[in-house]
Amino acid sequence: MSQYEEETFNEQESLQLITTMINKAKADFVETGISAIMWGSIISFCALVQFVSYFYPLSWARYVWLLTFLAVVPQIIISARERRRMKFKTYYSDAMSGIWLSFAITMFLLSFYVNTIQVPYIQLHAETLFLIVYGVPTFATGFTRRFTPMIIGGIACWVFAILAFYTAYPYTMLYYVAAAQLAWFIPGFILQRRYLKAKKQQHV
């Protein structure tokens, strides 16, 4: 075999390896979108209940946000199942895990701070703070993944945060609903459709 033929063969091997890796990555697409749909639904539901309870008092309404803590259990189960489906780990998956773990810790600490500190100004604009934080992991995920719906969702959270600063309660709760839909529910629905399509092609 001549040097030219050997170089050509090596180039062809390299291209085939790259193609195989790309196809493998596509086949291993495990972002089911279930987590995003779940959180989008829960946040929307909690915010709507709080909004309605302002006009029609509900005795259980003040406990409705506890659902977000209970939702951590199915989230752990979903995450564990998706990790088991992964045939290989990527830098992207590690980065996303770090971003969303940071978000969860930040939300817990911020919730504790807002509910503990007796500063009316901070409590009055708590919705603005939460919406700002909502936008960070959402935008980061969309930007890293080049997933436009989540980029839009992250920006929408920040826009709603600005609007919430000038909006009276309980109408700020409607910004929560819109933010949850744009940042999580709708992108999650799109991801789920992509996942089901990729899964179907995998079995063809």
Single pTM value for the model: 0.79
Q: Which domain holds residue 186?
A: 36-198
**Which pLDDT score is estimated for 22?**
42
Nearest to 87 by CA among 40, 28, 174: 28
Is position 83 within any domain?
Answer: yes
Cα 23–chain centre separation: 25
Is position 106 within any domain?
Answer: yes
Residue 161's region, left for phi above 0, alpha for psi from -120 to 50, else beta, is: alpha
The domain total for the chain is 1
Mean residue pLDDT of the chain comes to 82
Is position 89 within any domain?
Answer: yes
Identify which has the larger pLDDT, 20 or 122.
122
pLDDT, tens only, 136-173: 999 999 998 889 999 999 999 999 999 999 999 999 99
**Which pLDDT score is estimated for 94?**
76
